[in-house]
Amino acid sequence: MSRRGLLIILSSPSGAGKSTLAGLLRAWDDTLEFSVSATTRPPREGEQDGKDYFFVSAPEFQNLVSQGEMLEHALVFGNYYGSPKAPVKTAIDAGRDVLFDIDWQGAQQIKNSSLQEHVLSIFILPPSIKELHRRLVSRGQDAPEVIERRMQKSWDEISHWDGYDYVLINADLNTTEERLKTIISAERLRRSQQPDLMDHVRALQTEFGEMT
C-alpha cells in the first residue's frame, strides 16, 4: 500500500539541538528531503540555485505569496525568505517526507496552509536555560553579544511550545533521536497518510459480501 509523505517541522531555540537532530534524521533515512527555501537575497559564493535556495526577485517572490504558492514566508534583514508549496506537495504526493527546520512563526503558517493535514510538528526544549547557554558557548560559533541576543530571544521561542504536536526535552541526544524516529515511524502510519486504505476496506467488504 502506498502512503503520502509527511511535512515534518522541527523547531527550537538556538542551542537546543534542532539542526543536529535534523542531520541525524537524514542519516537514519536518506529519503528524507530538506525543504529548499526561496529567497530574494543574492546567491553567495558556491551556492546553487535550486539546491541551496531558489533565488528569485522581490516581485517574483511577492507574486508567489499573492498566488498562495508559499507555505510560509518572512522578511529577514531586508530580504524575503519562504518555502514554496509546489515542490513540497509533489514530494508528499509521491510518498516522500519533507523536513523543515524553521521557527514557530513559520510553523504556524504551515499548519494553517492547504497542506496542514500532512503536518507533523515537533518542538525541541533544552533541559535547562543554563544548559542552553552552555551549549551556545561551547559550539564556538558566535561572539558573546550574539549569544546574548540568542538567549534573550530563546524565551519567546520556548513560549510557543504548546502549538506543536509533540514536545521533546533534549537532555540526551541519543534518547531524543530515538524518540524522534519512533514519532515519525508511527505518524507515517496515520490514517490520513494512507490513501489506499478506503479501497482496501471496500475490497474486504466486497469479499465479505461474496462469502455470505
pLDDT of 1: 63
pLDDT of 163: 94
pLDDT of 66: 94
Q: For cell 519567546, name the residue.
A: 156
pTM: 0.86
Backbone φ/ψ region at 75: left (φ over 0), alpha (ψ -120 to 50), beta: beta
Instruction: Tell the burial category of 126 from Cβ atoms under 10 Å away from its Cβ (0-12, 13-18, 19+).
Output: buried
Characterize the bridge pairing of strands 79-84 and 70-76.
Answer: antiparallel
b vs e for 53-78, b when ≥16 Cβ sit within 10 Å of the residue's Cβ?
A: bbbbeeeebeebeeeebbbbbeeeee
Instruction: Give the pLDDT confidence of 65-93 residue by residue, as tens digits.
Output: 999 999 999 988 789 999 999 999 999 99
pLDDT of 116: 93
- Cβ 82 vs Cβ 67: under 8 Å: no
SS3 for 189-204 is: CCHHHCCCHHHHHHHH
In 3D space, the residue among 163, 162, 164, 139 whose CA is nearest the CA of residue 150 turns out to be 139
pLDDT of 146: 86
pLDDT of 98: 96
What domains does the chain contain, in order, with CATH numbers? 7-204 (3.40.50.300)
pLDDT of 165: 97
Residues of the chain with pLDDT under 70: 1
pLDDT of 166: 98
